[in-house]
Amino acid sequence: GIACLWGPAHGGANEAVIQMLEQIGVKENVEQFVADVKAKKDGVRLMGFGHRVYKNYDPRAKFAKVLVQQVLGDLGMQDPMLEVAMELERIALQDEYFTKRKLYPNVDFYTGIMLRAIGIPTSMFTVMFAMSRTVGWVSHWMEMVSEGQMRIGRPRQIYGGIAERSFQPRRGGWSLRRRLGSSDSMDAAASFSSSQAQAEIQQRAFGRRTSMVNLELEAKQTR
């Protein structure tokens, strides 16, 4: 589960925000950073903004923004990255480029600063992310055990596409003969023929499997 959450697009998003804020450095650099984001400059990416569901300001981010200030205050700490983050939010939300694209701070934008303040290393952010999900994972496990059977859950998907297609070689596929010497041409031709045969075998096997699944479903529907 932790491995599936890893990465800047999900469980490691707040870690990516910290890296972005450190890249900006100080709030005076925020305007140039925003300009680089809009210009799609290589190596510059806005993290912690936007959400697939929330197309406006993420309500969790509003709470996190207040909470991170409370945590830092209670700990008697000052994190310069919070100042950079708040300046970035201010400038971005005044810019039509971001608001038209529904890019508002999400829950990851401020939580990384808070986790770091309480002593969690950035490399462990995804682990903390996963810990909150263990309640659900364990609940599913307990439900499965309580049912008195340990059958593996197998969600099914029905392929509705073409069952079998003939192999169509790409145009210009034999241009290798013109590029290679005579002996190399023979090797290339043998390799191509072998690949073509393997592709046809795989297509036929897939067609047979699809047909068997369809027959099985028809049989169940007629019962």
Average pLDDT on 169-178 reads 55
Residue 81 tokens read as 């990255």
Q: What is the pLDDT of residues 103-144, one digit of tens each?
A: 999 988 999 999 999 999 988 888 888 888 888 888 888 888
Length of the chain, please?
Answer: 223
Give the residues across from 105 on adjacent strands.
49
Contact 8, 50 (CB under 8 A): no
Q: At what angle do helices 13-24 and 108-117 cross, to 10 degrees?
A: 80
> What are the residue numbers of the active site?
51, 108
Comparing 9-18, 74-83, 105-114, 179-188, the range with the smallest average pLDDT is: 179-188
Question: In sequence order, which residues have a C-beta less than 8 Å from that of residue 80 and are 6 or more positions away?
Answer: 26
Is residue 28's pLDDT more than 90?
A: yes
In angstroms, the first-to-last Cα distance of the chain is: 39
182, amino acid identity: S
Q: Amino acid identity of 105?
A: P
Cα of 106 vs its chain's centroid, Å: 15
* Residue 84, SS3 per DSSP: helix
H-type helices in 94-173, by residue range?
Answer: 96-99, 108-117, 125-131, 134-146
Q: Kindly report, residue by residue over 112-123, the tens digit of the pLDDT.
A: 999 999 999 988
pTM above the 0.85 mark?
A: no
